[in-house]
Structure 1
Amino acid sequence: MTKTALITGASRGLGLELARALAADGWRLVLTARGAEALDPVAAELGALALAGDVADPAHRERLAHAVQDGLDLLVNNASGLGPMPPLADYPLDELRELFQVNTLAPLALVQATLPSLRRHGGTIVNISSDAAVEAYPGWGGYGATKAALEQLSNVLAVEEPDVTVWWVDPGEMNTAMLAAAVGAEEAGAAPGPEKAAAALLRLIGERPASGRVGVR
Protein backbone atom coordinates (compact mmCIF):
# COMPACT_ATOMS: atom_id res chain seq x y z
CA MET A 1 0.00 0.00 0.00
CA THR A 2 1.40 3.41 -1.00
CA LYS A 3 2.31 5.66 1.90
CA THR A 4 1.72 9.41 1.91
CA ALA A 5 4.08 12.11 3.19
CA LEU A 6 3.51 15.84 3.60
CA ILE A 7 6.74 17.88 3.57
CA THR A 8 6.98 21.61 4.24
CA GLY A 9 9.87 23.68 2.91
CA ALA A 10 10.18 21.13 0.10
CA SER A 11 11.56 23.32 -2.70
CA ARG A 12 15.20 23.33 -1.55
CA GLY A 13 17.69 22.04 0.99
CA LEU A 14 16.77 19.15 3.26
CA GLY A 15 13.10 19.22 2.31
CA LEU A 16 13.92 18.79 -1.37
CA GLU A 17 16.45 16.01 -0.81
CA LEU A 18 14.12 14.12 1.53
CA ALA A 19 11.30 14.44 -1.02
CA ARG A 20 13.59 12.93 -3.66
CA ALA A 21 14.57 10.08 -1.34
CA LEU A 22 10.98 9.29 -0.42
CA ALA A 23 9.81 9.47 -4.04
CA ALA A 24 12.53 6.97 -5.01
CA ASP A 25 11.22 4.75 -2.21
CA GLY A 26 7.70 4.81 -3.68
CA TRP A 27 5.97 7.34 -1.42
CA ARG A 28 3.11 9.58 -2.53
CA LEU A 29 4.12 13.17 -1.78
CA VAL A 30 2.31 16.37 -0.95
CA LEU A 31 4.85 19.18 -1.04
CA THR A 32 4.63 22.76 0.07
CA ALA A 33 6.89 25.82 0.10
CA ARG A 34 6.27 29.53 -0.18
CA GLY A 35 7.20 29.97 -3.84
CA ALA A 36 5.42 28.12 -6.65
CA GLU A 37 8.24 28.93 -9.10
CA ALA A 38 10.68 26.76 -7.15
CA LEU A 39 8.16 24.19 -5.91
CA ASP A 40 6.34 23.31 -9.12
CA PRO A 41 9.42 21.94 -10.95
CA VAL A 42 10.20 19.75 -7.94
CA ALA A 43 6.66 18.36 -7.94
CA ALA A 44 6.85 17.72 -11.67
CA GLU A 45 10.19 15.93 -11.23
CA LEU A 46 8.83 13.68 -8.48
CA GLY A 47 5.22 13.21 -9.60
CA ALA A 48 4.07 14.94 -6.42
CA LEU A 49 1.21 17.26 -5.54
CA ALA A 50 2.45 20.84 -5.08
CA LEU A 51 0.56 23.30 -2.88
CA ALA A 52 2.53 26.53 -2.63
CA GLY A 53 1.85 28.82 0.30
CA ASP A 54 2.92 29.97 3.74
CA VAL A 55 2.50 27.41 6.53
CA ALA A 56 1.97 30.30 8.94
CA ASP A 57 -1.29 31.04 7.05
CA PRO A 58 -4.27 29.15 8.56
CA ALA A 59 -6.05 28.96 5.20
CA HIS A 60 -3.02 27.30 3.63
CA ARG A 61 -2.75 24.79 6.45
CA GLU A 62 -6.40 23.95 5.88
CA ARG A 63 -5.65 23.23 2.21
CA LEU A 64 -2.77 20.98 3.20
CA ALA A 65 -4.88 19.08 5.73
CA HIS A 66 -7.62 18.61 3.13
CA ALA A 67 -5.08 17.18 0.66
CA VAL A 68 -4.17 14.40 3.12
CA GLN A 69 -7.54 13.82 4.74
CA ASP A 70 -7.74 10.29 3.32
CA GLY A 71 -4.68 9.31 5.30
CA LEU A 72 -1.23 10.58 6.22
CA ASP A 73 1.73 8.42 7.18
CA LEU A 74 4.42 11.07 7.57
CA LEU A 75 4.42 14.80 8.34
CA VAL A 76 7.76 16.57 8.02
CA ASN A 77 7.80 20.08 9.50
CA ASN A 78 10.91 21.32 7.73
CA ALA A 79 9.97 24.90 6.72
CA SER A 80 11.84 27.38 8.87
CA GLY A 81 13.08 30.94 9.02
CA LEU A 82 16.44 32.16 10.31
CA GLY A 83 15.48 35.66 11.40
CA PRO A 84 17.98 38.38 12.35
CA MET A 85 21.06 37.44 14.34
CA PRO A 86 21.89 40.27 16.75
CA PRO A 87 22.68 39.68 20.44
CA LEU A 88 19.53 39.01 22.45
CA ALA A 89 19.99 42.38 24.18
CA ASP A 90 19.22 44.02 20.83
CA TYR A 91 16.80 41.50 19.34
CA PRO A 92 13.73 43.21 17.81
CA LEU A 93 10.80 41.60 19.59
CA ASP A 94 8.36 42.03 16.72
CA GLU A 95 10.68 39.97 14.54
CA LEU A 96 11.09 37.37 17.27
CA ARG A 97 7.30 37.00 17.49
CA GLU A 98 7.18 36.46 13.75
CA LEU A 99 9.97 33.88 13.95
CA PHE A 100 8.11 31.95 16.64
CA GLN A 101 5.03 32.07 14.42
CA VAL A 102 6.92 30.41 11.55
CA ASN A 103 9.25 28.05 13.40
CA THR A 104 7.15 26.97 16.38
CA LEU A 105 3.46 27.80 16.12
CA ALA A 106 2.96 26.93 12.44
CA PRO A 107 4.43 23.42 12.84
CA LEU A 108 2.21 22.77 15.86
CA ALA A 109 -0.83 24.10 14.03
CA LEU A 110 -0.11 21.80 11.07
CA VAL A 111 0.24 18.88 13.47
CA GLN A 112 -3.15 19.76 14.96
CA ALA A 113 -4.72 19.97 11.51
CA THR A 114 -3.36 16.62 10.33
CA LEU A 115 -3.52 14.57 13.55
CA PRO A 116 -6.79 12.83 12.62
CA SER A 117 -5.15 11.44 9.48
CA LEU A 118 -1.92 10.59 11.30
CA ARG A 119 -3.76 8.78 14.09
CA ARG A 120 -5.69 6.64 11.63
CA HIS A 121 -2.49 5.50 9.96
CA GLY A 122 -0.32 5.26 13.08
CA GLY A 123 1.78 7.92 11.40
CA THR A 124 5.01 9.73 12.12
CA ILE A 125 5.80 13.39 12.77
CA VAL A 126 9.29 14.72 12.04
CA ASN A 127 9.99 18.19 13.41
CA ILE A 128 13.31 19.49 12.08
CA SER A 129 15.29 21.15 14.84
CA SER A 130 18.89 22.29 15.29
CA ASP A 131 21.79 22.07 17.70
CA ALA A 132 21.06 25.76 18.30
CA ALA A 133 18.08 24.51 20.34
CA VAL A 134 20.39 23.01 22.96
CA GLU A 135 23.69 24.92 22.57
CA ALA A 136 24.44 28.59 23.30
CA TYR A 137 25.81 30.21 20.13
CA PRO A 138 26.15 34.01 20.09
CA GLY A 139 23.73 35.50 17.59
CA TRP A 140 21.61 32.35 17.40
CA GLY A 141 19.43 33.14 20.43
CA GLY A 142 16.22 33.96 18.55
CA TYR A 143 16.39 31.04 16.13
CA GLY A 144 17.58 28.66 18.86
CA ALA A 145 14.75 29.68 21.17
CA THR A 146 12.14 28.88 18.53
CA LYS A 147 13.70 25.45 17.96
CA ALA A 148 14.00 24.76 21.69
CA ALA A 149 10.29 25.49 22.03
CA LEU A 150 9.54 23.21 19.07
CA GLU A 151 11.54 20.43 20.70
CA GLN A 152 9.60 20.66 23.97
CA LEU A 153 6.29 20.73 22.10
CA SER A 154 7.46 17.59 20.29
CA ASN A 155 8.50 15.97 23.58
CA VAL A 156 5.08 16.53 25.15
CA LEU A 157 3.26 15.57 21.95
CA ALA A 158 5.07 12.22 21.96
CA VAL A 159 3.65 11.51 25.43
CA GLU A 160 0.15 12.74 24.63
CA GLU A 161 -0.13 10.87 21.30
CA PRO A 162 1.16 7.33 21.95
CA ASP A 163 -0.28 6.03 18.67
CA VAL A 164 1.83 8.49 16.66
CA THR A 165 5.63 8.47 16.48
CA VAL A 166 7.24 11.88 17.03
CA TRP A 167 10.88 12.68 16.33
CA TRP A 168 12.55 16.05 16.76
CA VAL A 169 15.56 15.81 14.51
CA ASP A 170 18.87 17.66 14.53
CA PRO A 171 20.30 17.16 11.03
CA GLY A 172 23.61 18.85 11.83
CA GLU A 173 25.30 21.48 9.67
CA MET A 174 24.32 21.26 6.01
CA ASN A 175 25.39 23.27 3.00
CA THR A 176 22.10 25.13 2.52
CA ALA A 177 21.01 28.66 1.69
CA MET A 178 20.01 29.17 5.33
CA LEU A 179 23.43 28.23 6.67
CA ALA A 180 25.10 30.40 4.03
CA ALA A 181 22.94 33.34 5.13
CA ALA A 182 24.09 32.81 8.71
CA VAL A 183 27.80 32.07 8.35
CA GLY A 184 28.69 32.95 4.75
CA ALA A 185 28.91 30.87 1.60
CA GLU A 186 32.53 29.81 2.15
CA GLU A 187 31.97 28.29 5.59
CA ALA A 188 28.64 26.76 4.53
CA GLY A 189 30.36 25.18 1.54
CA ALA A 190 32.54 23.14 3.89
CA ALA A 191 29.47 21.42 5.38
CA PRO A 192 28.02 18.25 3.84
CA GLY A 193 25.12 18.60 1.45
CA PRO A 194 21.57 18.00 2.70
CA GLU A 195 21.32 14.77 0.71
CA LYS A 196 23.44 13.06 3.41
CA ALA A 197 20.98 13.99 6.18
CA ALA A 198 18.07 13.06 3.90
CA ALA A 199 19.50 9.57 3.41
CA ALA A 200 19.88 9.19 7.18
CA LEU A 201 16.31 10.35 7.67
CA LEU A 202 15.05 7.82 5.13
CA ARG A 203 16.79 5.06 7.09
CA LEU A 204 15.24 6.39 10.31
CA ILE A 205 11.77 6.36 8.76
CA GLY A 206 12.29 2.78 7.63
CA GLU A 207 13.56 1.60 11.02
CA ARG A 208 10.99 3.65 12.98
CA PRO A 209 12.51 3.76 16.45
CA ALA A 210 10.56 5.11 19.43
CA SER A 211 9.68 8.79 19.70
CA GLY A 212 12.49 11.08 20.82
CA ARG A 213 15.24 13.50 19.88
CA VAL A 214 17.37 12.19 17.04
CA GLY A 215 20.61 13.43 15.51
CA VAL A 216 21.18 12.35 11.91
CA ARG A 217 24.50 12.77 10.16
Structure 2
Amino acid sequence: MSQPSAVVTGASSGIGAATARHLAAAGFHVFCAARRADRIEALAAEIGGTPVVCDVTDPASVEQLAAAVGDTLHVLVNNAGGAFGSTPVAQADSDDWRRMYEVNVIGLVQVTRALLPALVASGDGVLLNVGSTAGRIAYEGGGGYTAAKHGTQVVTETLRLELWDQPVRVCEIAPGMVKTDEFAMVRFDGDRGKAEAVYAGVPDPLTADDIADAITWMVTRPSHVNVDELVIRPRRQAAQHKVHREPTPE
Protein backbone atom coordinates (compact mmCIF):
# COMPACT_ATOMS: atom_id res chain seq x y z
CA MET A 1 0.00 0.00 0.00
CA SER A 2 1.34 3.44 -0.95
CA GLN A 3 2.02 6.03 1.70
CA PRO A 4 -1.05 8.15 2.53
CA SER A 5 -0.75 11.86 1.86
CA ALA A 6 -1.89 14.94 3.77
CA VAL A 7 -1.98 18.67 3.14
CA VAL A 8 -1.68 21.11 6.03
CA THR A 9 -2.24 24.79 5.28
CA GLY A 10 -0.76 27.43 7.52
CA ALA A 11 2.08 25.00 8.21
CA SER A 12 4.78 27.59 8.83
CA SER A 13 4.14 27.90 12.58
CA GLY A 14 1.93 27.05 15.53
CA ILE A 15 -0.80 24.45 15.13
CA GLY A 16 -0.03 23.96 11.43
CA ALA A 17 3.63 23.12 11.94
CA ALA A 18 2.83 20.85 14.89
CA THR A 19 0.15 19.06 12.88
CA ALA A 20 2.54 18.46 10.00
CA ARG A 21 5.02 16.87 12.43
CA HIS A 22 2.38 14.68 14.08
CA LEU A 23 0.94 13.49 10.77
CA ALA A 24 4.40 12.67 9.45
CA ALA A 25 5.08 10.65 12.60
CA ALA A 26 1.79 8.82 11.95
CA GLY A 27 3.01 7.75 8.52
CA PHE A 28 1.70 10.45 6.19
CA HIS A 29 3.62 12.22 3.47
CA VAL A 30 2.82 15.82 4.31
CA PHE A 31 2.56 18.73 1.91
CA CYS A 32 3.47 21.72 4.08
CA ALA A 33 1.64 24.72 2.64
CA ALA A 34 2.16 28.32 3.77
CA ARG A 35 3.39 31.67 2.52
CA ARG A 36 6.81 31.69 4.20
CA ALA A 37 9.08 29.57 2.02
CA ASP A 38 12.02 29.39 4.41
CA ARG A 39 9.92 27.99 7.24
CA ILE A 40 8.07 25.33 5.27
CA GLU A 41 11.25 24.26 3.49
CA ALA A 42 12.94 23.69 6.86
CA LEU A 43 9.88 21.86 8.19
CA ALA A 44 9.53 19.66 5.12
CA ALA A 45 13.22 18.76 5.29
CA GLU A 46 12.79 17.83 8.95
CA ILE A 47 9.80 15.52 8.42
CA GLY A 48 10.44 14.24 4.90
CA GLY A 49 7.54 16.19 3.44
CA THR A 50 7.03 18.52 0.50
CA PRO A 51 7.02 22.32 0.88
CA VAL A 52 4.50 24.26 -1.20
CA VAL A 53 4.44 28.03 -1.04
CA CYS A 54 0.75 28.91 -0.95
CA ASP A 55 -1.42 31.89 -0.08
CA VAL A 56 -4.88 30.41 0.46
CA THR A 57 -6.53 33.75 -0.44
CA ASP A 58 -4.94 33.70 -3.92
CA PRO A 59 -6.77 31.38 -6.37
CA ALA A 60 -3.72 30.98 -8.61
CA SER A 61 -1.57 30.02 -5.62
CA VAL A 62 -4.17 27.46 -4.53
CA GLU A 63 -4.22 25.95 -8.01
CA GLN A 64 -0.46 25.52 -7.79
CA LEU A 65 -0.95 23.67 -4.50
CA ALA A 66 -3.45 21.34 -6.15
CA ALA A 67 -1.03 20.70 -9.00
CA ALA A 68 1.75 19.85 -6.55
CA VAL A 69 -0.49 17.40 -4.66
CA GLY A 70 -1.63 15.54 -7.75
CA ASP A 71 -4.63 13.30 -8.34
CA THR A 72 -4.99 11.66 -4.94
CA LEU A 73 -5.08 13.04 -1.39
CA HIS A 74 -6.08 11.31 1.85
CA VAL A 75 -6.22 14.15 4.39
CA LEU A 76 -6.70 17.91 4.10
CA VAL A 77 -6.24 20.03 7.20
CA ASN A 78 -7.52 23.55 6.53
CA ASN A 79 -5.56 25.25 9.28
CA ALA A 80 -4.64 28.60 7.73
CA GLY A 81 -6.45 31.37 9.59
CA GLY A 82 -5.96 34.24 11.92
CA ALA A 83 -7.40 36.99 14.08
CA PHE A 84 -6.63 40.66 13.45
CA GLY A 85 -7.57 43.33 15.97
CA SER A 86 -9.85 43.38 18.99
CA THR A 87 -11.84 46.59 18.68
CA PRO A 88 -15.58 46.83 19.40
CA VAL A 89 -17.87 46.59 16.38
CA ALA A 90 -18.58 50.33 16.64
CA GLN A 91 -14.88 51.04 16.00
CA ALA A 92 -14.21 48.07 13.72
CA ASP A 93 -11.53 48.25 11.06
CA SER A 94 -13.29 46.99 7.92
CA ASP A 95 -10.00 45.92 6.36
CA ASP A 96 -9.22 43.70 9.36
CA TRP A 97 -12.66 42.10 9.07
CA ARG A 98 -12.15 41.50 5.34
CA ARG A 99 -8.75 39.90 5.98
CA MET A 100 -10.24 37.57 8.60
CA TYR A 101 -13.10 36.53 6.33
CA GLU A 102 -10.74 36.06 3.38
CA VAL A 103 -8.38 33.69 5.20
CA ASN A 104 -10.79 31.88 7.55
CA VAL A 105 -13.65 31.39 5.08
CA ILE A 106 -12.82 32.23 1.46
CA GLY A 107 -9.35 30.71 1.68
CA LEU A 108 -10.76 27.56 3.26
CA VAL A 109 -13.36 27.29 0.49
CA GLN A 110 -10.79 27.80 -2.27
CA VAL A 111 -8.45 25.13 -0.94
CA THR A 112 -11.32 22.71 -0.36
CA ARG A 113 -12.70 23.25 -3.86
CA ALA A 114 -9.29 22.70 -5.45
CA LEU A 115 -8.40 19.55 -3.48
CA LEU A 116 -11.79 17.89 -3.11
CA PRO A 117 -11.47 15.84 -6.33
CA ALA A 118 -8.23 14.34 -4.99
CA LEU A 119 -9.86 13.56 -1.65
CA VAL A 120 -12.72 11.79 -3.42
CA ALA A 121 -10.27 9.93 -5.66
CA SER A 122 -8.54 8.45 -2.60
CA GLY A 123 -11.71 6.52 -1.83
CA ASP A 124 -11.41 7.40 1.87
CA GLY A 125 -10.61 11.09 2.31
CA VAL A 126 -10.78 13.22 5.44
CA LEU A 127 -11.40 16.96 5.31
CA LEU A 128 -10.68 18.62 8.64
CA ASN A 129 -11.24 22.33 9.24
CA VAL A 130 -9.59 24.09 12.16
CA GLY A 131 -12.28 26.26 13.71
CA SER A 132 -12.42 27.78 17.17
CA THR A 133 -14.59 28.07 20.24
CA ALA A 134 -14.98 31.61 18.85
CA GLY A 135 -17.11 29.92 16.21
CA ARG A 136 -19.59 28.90 18.91
CA ILE A 137 -19.99 32.00 21.09
CA ALA A 138 -19.50 35.75 20.73
CA TYR A 139 -17.40 37.89 23.05
CA GLU A 140 -16.67 41.59 23.34
CA GLY A 141 -13.93 42.79 21.03
CA GLY A 142 -14.03 39.64 18.96
CA GLY A 143 -16.78 40.44 16.48
CA GLY A 144 -14.74 40.06 13.32
CA TYR A 145 -13.01 36.88 14.41
CA THR A 146 -16.12 35.24 15.83
CA ALA A 147 -18.03 36.09 12.65
CA ALA A 148 -15.29 34.51 10.54
CA LYS A 149 -15.01 31.38 12.69
CA HIS A 150 -18.79 30.98 12.76
CA GLY A 151 -18.36 31.00 8.99
CA THR A 152 -15.81 28.21 9.23
CA GLN A 153 -18.25 26.14 11.26
CA VAL A 154 -21.16 26.68 8.89
CA VAL A 155 -19.06 25.86 5.82
CA THR A 156 -18.02 22.64 7.55
CA GLU A 157 -21.61 21.69 8.35
CA THR A 158 -22.67 22.45 4.77
CA LEU A 159 -19.87 20.35 3.31
CA ARG A 160 -20.88 17.40 5.47
CA LEU A 161 -24.43 17.60 4.09
CA GLU A 162 -23.32 18.06 0.50
CA LEU A 163 -20.75 15.26 0.60
CA TRP A 164 -22.96 12.75 2.40
CA ASP A 165 -22.76 10.26 -0.47
CA GLN A 166 -19.04 10.73 -1.19
CA PRO A 167 -16.10 8.84 0.36
CA VAL A 168 -14.99 11.90 2.31
CA ARG A 169 -15.41 12.50 6.03
CA VAL A 170 -15.85 16.13 7.13
CA CYS A 171 -14.62 17.16 10.58
CA GLU A 172 -13.96 20.30 12.59
CA ILE A 173 -11.79 20.89 15.63
CA ALA A 174 -12.67 23.93 17.74
CA PRO A 175 -9.85 24.83 20.14
CA GLY A 176 -10.26 27.17 23.07
CA MET A 177 -7.26 28.87 24.70
CA VAL A 178 -4.13 27.75 22.87
CA LYS A 179 -0.80 29.50 23.37
CA THR A 180 1.37 29.52 20.26
CA ASP A 181 4.32 31.64 19.23
CA GLU A 182 2.42 33.98 16.94
CA PHE A 183 -1.39 33.95 17.21
CA ALA A 184 -1.87 36.61 19.91
CA MET A 185 1.11 38.66 18.68
CA VAL A 186 -0.44 38.88 15.22
CA ARG A 187 -3.85 39.74 16.64
CA PHE A 188 -2.46 42.63 18.68
CA ASP A 189 -0.13 43.86 15.94
CA GLY A 190 3.04 42.88 17.77
CA ASP A 191 2.08 44.31 21.16
CA ARG A 192 3.68 41.73 23.45
CA GLY A 193 2.05 43.13 26.57
CA LYS A 194 -1.46 42.65 25.17
CA ALA A 195 -0.55 39.24 23.79
CA GLU A 196 0.79 38.02 27.13
CA ALA A 197 -2.24 39.40 28.98
CA VAL A 198 -4.44 36.86 27.20
CA TYR A 199 -2.68 34.06 29.08
CA ALA A 200 -1.96 35.93 32.33
CA GLY A 201 -2.42 33.71 35.36
CA VAL A 202 -2.92 30.59 33.21
CA PRO A 203 0.27 28.53 33.49
CA ASP A 204 -1.05 25.65 31.40
CA PRO A 205 -3.06 26.72 28.34
CA LEU A 206 -3.29 24.24 25.48
CA THR A 207 -0.29 23.96 23.19
CA ALA A 208 0.02 23.49 19.45
CA ASP A 209 1.05 19.89 20.11
CA ASP A 210 -2.16 19.26 22.06
CA ILE A 211 -4.22 20.32 19.05
CA ALA A 212 -2.02 18.46 16.58
CA ASP A 213 -2.37 15.30 18.65
CA ALA A 214 -6.17 15.64 18.60
CA ILE A 215 -6.22 16.34 14.86
CA THR A 216 -4.12 13.25 14.18
CA TRP A 217 -6.49 11.15 16.28
CA MET A 218 -9.51 12.51 14.40
CA VAL A 219 -8.17 11.80 10.92
CA THR A 220 -6.93 8.31 11.79
CA ARG A 221 -10.21 6.86 13.07
CA PRO A 222 -11.58 3.82 11.20
CA SER A 223 -13.10 4.87 7.89
CA HIS A 224 -16.68 4.35 9.10
CA VAL A 225 -16.17 6.80 11.99
CA ASN A 226 -16.70 10.54 11.44
CA VAL A 227 -15.81 12.92 14.27
CA ASP A 228 -18.17 15.75 13.33
CA GLU A 229 -16.68 18.24 15.75
CA LEU A 230 -14.30 18.22 18.68
CA VAL A 231 -14.34 21.17 21.10
CA ILE A 232 -11.12 21.20 23.10
CA ARG A 233 -10.10 23.57 25.89
CA PRO A 234 -7.56 23.67 28.70
CA ARG A 235 -8.94 22.46 32.01
CA ARG A 236 -8.81 25.98 33.40
CA GLN A 237 -11.17 27.33 30.73
CA ALA A 238 -14.81 26.46 31.33
CA ALA A 239 -16.04 28.94 28.72
CA GLN A 240 -14.81 31.97 26.78
CA HIS A 241 -15.46 34.24 29.76
CA LYS A 242 -14.74 31.77 32.56
CA VAL A 243 -11.04 31.09 33.00
CA HIS A 244 -9.41 30.20 36.31
CA ARG A 245 -6.42 32.51 36.65
CA GLU A 246 -3.85 32.47 39.42
CA PRO A 247 -3.22 35.78 41.22
CA THR A 248 -0.44 37.84 39.68
CA PRO A 249 2.51 38.22 42.10
CA GLU A 250 2.86 41.77 43.38
* TM class by smaller structure: over 0.9
Matches within 5 A, 1:118-133: 118-121=119-122, 122-133=124-135
Partner of 1:170: 174
The alpha carbon displacement at 1:181 in A equals 4.6
Distance in 2 separating the partners of 1:90 and 1:197: 33
The alpha carbon displacement at 1:57 in A equals 0.8
Distance in 2 separating the partners of 1:181 and 1:63: 27
1:27-86 per-residue CA deviation (whole Å, 9 max, x = no partner) reads 011111111122211111011110123111111100111122220011111011211210
Q: What do you get for the CA RMSD once the two structures are aligned? A: 1.7
Partner of 1:98: 99
Contact 1:75 1:126 in 2 (8 A): yes
Distance in 2 separating the partners of 1:155 and 1:32: 24
Distance in 1 separating the partners of 2:93 and 2:48: 42
Distance in 2 separating the partners of 1:84 and 1:175: 17
Gaps of 5+ in 2: 188-193, 234-250
SS in 1 for 2:220: helix
The alpha carbon displacement at 1:125 in A equals 0.8
Distance in 1 separating the partners of 2:198 and 2:152: 27
Q: Does 1:150 align with 2:152?
A: yes
Partner of 2:191: none
| Structure 1 stretches of at least 4 aligned residues deviating more than 3 Å after TM superposition | 179-183, 186-190
Partner of 2:230: 214
Distance in 1 separating the partners of 2:54 and 2:186: 22
Matches within 5 A, 1:1-217: 1=1, 2-121=3-122, 122-162=124-164, 163=166, 164-176=168-180, 177-182=182-187, 184-185=195-196, 187-188=198-199, 190=203, 191-207=205-221, 209-210=225-226, 212-216=228-232
Q: Decide which structure has greater helix share.
A: 1
Contact 2:218 2:227 in 1 (8 A): no
Contact 1:133 1:144 in 2 (8 A): yes
Contact 1:14 1:195 in 2 (8 A): yes
Distance in 2 separating the partners of 1:155 and 1:211: 12
Q: TM-score, normalised by structure 2?
A: 0.81
Q: TM-score, normalised by structure 1?
A: 0.93
Contact 2:56 2:62 in 1 (8 A): yes
Distance in 2 separating the partners of 1:13 and 1:94: 24
1:7-27 per-residue CA deviation (whole Å, 9 max, x = no partner) reads 001111111111111111110
The alpha carbon displacement at 1:171 in A equals 2.3
Identity over the aligned pairs, expressed in percent?
33
SS in 2 for 1:170: strand
Distance in 1 separating the partners of 2:95 and 2:216: 37
| AA of the residue aligned to 1:63 | Q
| AA of the residue aligned to 1:175 | K
Q: Using a 3 Å threshold, how does the CA distance of structure 1 residues 184 and 101 change in structure 2: closer, same or farther?
A: same
| AA of the residue aligned to 1:185 | E
Q: Using a 3 Å threshold, how does the CA distance of structure 1 residues 184 and 98 change in structure 2: closer, same or farther?
A: closer
